[in-house]
Amino acid sequence: MEPPSPHPDAPAPGQPLDAHYSHCFGCGDEVESGLRIRSTVGEHHVVVSTFTVTKDHQGAPGLAHGGLLTCAFDEALGTAAGNLLRVPVVTAKLETDFRRPVPVGSTLYITTKLCGRAGRKVYTSAEGRLDAADGPLAVEARALFVTVGVEHFLEHGDPEQLKELGERHSDWDVNP
Ligand SMILES: CCCCCCCC/C=C\CCCCCCCC(=O)SCCNC(=O)CCNC(=O)[C@H](O)C(C)(C)COP(=O)(O)OP(=O)(O)OC[C@H]1O[C@@H](n2cnc3c(N)ncnc32)[C@H](O)[C@@H]1OP(=O)(O)O
């Protein structure tokens, strides 16, 4: 496994990251009950993402649904891998440890780091802490992402939406 060096043009520490797609359930603004995760590059090649739990995200009364928390980590981990390496990635495997309940109204601070890279495989891990980047540990996750080319989305997704996305992110090499 190679060390996970960020791309030379990776966004600098302090830089907020745009939603990668406005209809994304994880980060898009156009999904009413979406997770609306916001991410910023941190020091030492990490990405810090925040997810505020609302009543639309419940499993038990007053508590976040575990599957939605896993979704939040999918978004946070994928955003970190995609932006730090500047390459499109998709999730191949995702594992979550739930350490502590996450109440409605709390904000989860998810800090993601890249753990290693082997060919197209990118290994990542993250910790989610309650209400502050150094708050109580609530959720941990690890994921394997696989880098893909634009043909992945052309073949399996919606080419028209992809074209629009490419026009909005002219710095991304995703134009068909
Ligand atoms: C200049 C450009 C700048 C761009 C900047 C971009 C910024 C972007 C910002 C943000 C990013 C996005 C954030 C999104 C967050 C949410 C992500 C999601 O929810 S993604 C949707 C859910 N995931 C899927 O739908 C995948 C479905 N699966 C597949 O399509 C395939 O299985 C795929 C692509 C994962 C692999 O298929 P194959 O045919 O291409 O390749 P094979 O050879 O099978 O796998 C490659 C390697 O990975 C291993 N692998 C694959 N799956 C594995 C698994 N489940 N477990 C372990 N290893 C696995 C294989 O063993 C192989 O390893 P070996 O190279 O032989 O060592």
Domains of the chain in sequence order: 16-168 (3.10.129.10)
Residue nearest to atom 23 of ligand 1 (CA): 91
Shortest CA distance to 145 belongs to which of 127, 119, 164? 119
Cα(62) to centroid of ligand 1, in Å? Answer: 34
For residue 145, the CA-to-ligand 1 centroid distance in Å is: 5
Residue nearest to atom 16 of ligand 1 (CA): 75
Q: Which run of H or of E encompasses 75?
A: helix 66-85
- Residue 1 Cβ contacting ligand 1 at under 6 Å: no
Q: Nearest 5°: phi and psi at 54?
A: -115, 180
| Closest C-alpha residue for ligand 1 atom 14 | 78
Tens of pLDDT along 131-143? 999 999 999 999 9
Least confident of 4-8, 61-65, 111-115, 118-122: 4-8
User: Whose CA is closest to 68, among 156, 141, 134?
Assistant: 141
Give the ipTM.
Answer: 0.96
Q: How far apart are CA 115 and CA 129, in angstroms?
A: 19
